[in-house]
Structure 1
Amino acid sequence: MKHWTEPNGILLIQIPIDWQYLNSGLRDYEEKSPYGFQPYEDSIGCFQLSCYPLSELAPSTTKANPDGVRKLSWNESRADNFEFCTHLFYGAYYDQALIGKYIYDVALEGDSRIAEQLAIVNKVLNSVVIVPEGDRKRAANLDKFDRFLGSLAASYDLLYSAINALAFIEIIAITANQIDAHLRLSLVIAKQLEEKTDNIEIRYLFQADGEKGIMERKVFDDALGFQVIDAETFDSLNDLYNLRNRVIHRYIISDIKSRELVTIAGKYLSALEQTRLILRDFEQKQAVVPYGLYGTKSGKTSITDDAIRRLYAKANDKHLLEKYKRSVKDSKS
């Protein structure tokens, strides 16, 4: 199983590793209730989960439970039509009204595979954890951190494809992204170490559409200021930044030759390894303290088959391209 966090940090559930979260990747969905899930491969139905303030949907229940509904129980019903069968699940937990649905084609009614999926749905519904209101921002930030890691992992698929194709401009563009990511995460950890805190300065790790983010040169400045990098590395990264801009923006209108791209790409790959090692050092420093993203409270993640499948699933969610799709099916099943 893998965890899924509601985008506002309201709740967490455990879902199968081979289930895809639909809202963040498909145009027909928005990042709001209902949240949709289905297997990456051979899907025969779709599971949806919605959460709403209990005070809005069931004010009488809220009044009767001023401290929140402490025990989760589900009421089930059906809402079928000539095209689809829909199993409905209603529940209330703490300050949230919950609605679950499992939807499948009417032709599959009575199919043993549907019974298997409904058994999984029940496990998912019973895994719901409502996050205390004061912890929801952190839960949402941890989810953004997970997405950041998935994006970083997926970027290496792009890099290896570019290297194999000798696509030097792509190599330069992708490694610039990765260097920036290494420094951003190093900065987050450095600040946590300095302040001895679990707080995540999420502005380094996530930028929503239309949101003013932290630009690459500012990341260099901050990394120097927090001693993530030294002055020599700072100067080197700025030189690379200028070369990269010349390649990306002025390849046609300047005298730069394609042969020079090979050298620039090589410099970027060297810088990438340098920043990877910087990040590794910060991760190792934090691994022995009781706070932060990699602190001892978070526990050490073992490299198991399931852990690898979870990483593959994150990369799949980032790519949404058949070319890079990895199977996340359980080899034991």
Structure 2
Amino acid sequence: MSDKTDFEKLENFINGVGAARMLLQRSHKQEFLIEALVLYATLIDGFCRIALVLKQQIKNRSSDFDVKYIHQDDDRDYYSERDIYKYAFEKAILEKDIFDDINALYDFRNKVIHRFLISEIEYAHLGLVLDRYELVFQRLWNIVYGLESEQIQKGVGMTIARKVTEEDKKAVHKDILRKVDTKDPEKLKQILGSKLIQDTKIFSERAERERISDEVSDEIEIREEKTRIPPGFTSVKEITKWAERKGLFRKCICGHEKVSHVNTNKMKKAGSNLDDYVKKCKVKRCKCKNYREQNHEKFVK
């Protein structure tokens, strides 16, 4: 759960919209069509969300808002893109034609992302769709601008009329760049978590990327080795990598590797969990009864 205030969450959201717009301009310039497709979808969702916030503040004559419009905690319920589009339509923010366009574009975006390989979609088809996205984007921008103007006119909500200085622009740009990259390793570690990082206790982005690069090189080496051996034979490198992934080269507190604790005589050929056969060390004169990995408290039985 996030420990940030609602204002900080809103600030993060606004910076995200700015960052997405900046990245979209870059993807247009470099003709990265799929990246542009994803960023347009992000911005359309973002504009609908901020429009809901503005509309709610106007209705309630308050600066308060439903924080779920602009922030999602992993351990809480949230509003999906479809929910946001539906709410924006039900609250008369979106007219029927643009609501239908947004949903059609949403379906196409999902088709590109999830079914590019198994459908008849061609990369060149995205150009026309991106034009449709740009039209919807501009219409939504005008809708949000209209709601902001209404807040200023009525003196309610979070929109304030004032002249924007060059210093203001620089500060906004700086905040947007922080949404692109804060260069904060602790934040990166927190966002990725233990499922995407091998060891969060000794995490370093540089070391992690080097490790992954080494593994990629190993896979390429395995493939090249397979082209040099007869069909049906296994690459030596492949066997070594399999053993490494299974942790067979890790050492027990007895000083011997995990592979020395595997009872191969009792192993089944298929459907076996290797750890079910890891127990007593087979090295002569070693009295270790259970494998216990160095620097870990847990026994593997």
TM-score, structure 2 normalization: 0.57
Superposed displacement of residue 150, structure 1? 1.0
Superposed displacement of residue 143, structure 1? 2.0
**2:110 is the alignment partner of 1:245:** yes
Residue equivalent to 2:26: 161
Superposed displacement of residue 321, structure 1? 7.1
Structure 1: distance between partners of 2:180 and 2:107: 29
Superposed displacement of residue 290, structure 1? 2.6
**2:150 is the alignment partner of 1:285:** yes
TM-score, structure 1 normalization: 0.52
Residue equivalent to 1:170: 35
Do the aligned partners of 1:169 and 1:265 also contact (CA within 8 Å) in 2?
no
Q: Which structure has the bigger radius of gyration? A: 2
Structure 2: distance between partners of 1:313 and 1:208: 25
Structure 1: distance between partners of 2:68 and 2:7: 12
User: 1:304 pairs with 150, 162, 165, which one?
Assistant: 165
User: 1:227 pairs with 69, 85, 92, which one?
Assistant: 92
Structure 2: distance between partners of 1:175 and 1:261: 12
Structure 2: distance between partners of 1:307 and 1:209: 33
Do the aligned partners of 1:182 and 1:276 also contact (CA within 8 Å) in 2?
yes
Aligned-residue Cα RMSD (Å) equals: 1.7
Structure 1: distance between partners of 2:114 and 2:104: 15
Count of aligned pairs between the two proteins: 182
Structure 2: distance between partners of 1:315 and 1:289: 29
Counterpart amino acid of residue 234 in structure 1:
F
The 1:186/1:255 distance shift into structure 2, 3 A limit, reads: same
Give CA-to-partner distance per residue, 1:27-78, whole Å, 9 cap, x none: xxxxxxxxxxxxxxxxxxxxxxxxxxxxxxxxxxxxxxxxxxxxxxxxxxxx
User: 1:150 pairs with 7, 11, 15, which one?
Assistant: 15
Decide which structure has greater strand share: 1
Give CA-to-partner distance per residue, 1:181-217, whole Å, 9 cap, x none: 0110001111111122221211101112343321001
The runs of at least 4 aligned residues of structure 1 exceeding 2 Å deviation read: 208-212, 299-302
Do the aligned partners of 1:159 and 1:175 also contact (CA within 8 Å) in 2?
yes
Structure 2: distance between partners of 1:321 and 1:167: 24
Relative contact order higher in (CA < 8 Å, ≥ 6 apart): 1
Give CA-to-partner distance per residue, 1:252-302, whole Å, 9 cap, x none: 1101112211111111111111111111111111112232111xxxx4342
Superposed displacement of residue 8, structure 1? 5.3
Structure 1, unaligned runs of 5 or more: 1-6, 10-139, 323-333
Structure 2, unaligned runs of 5 or more: 184-301
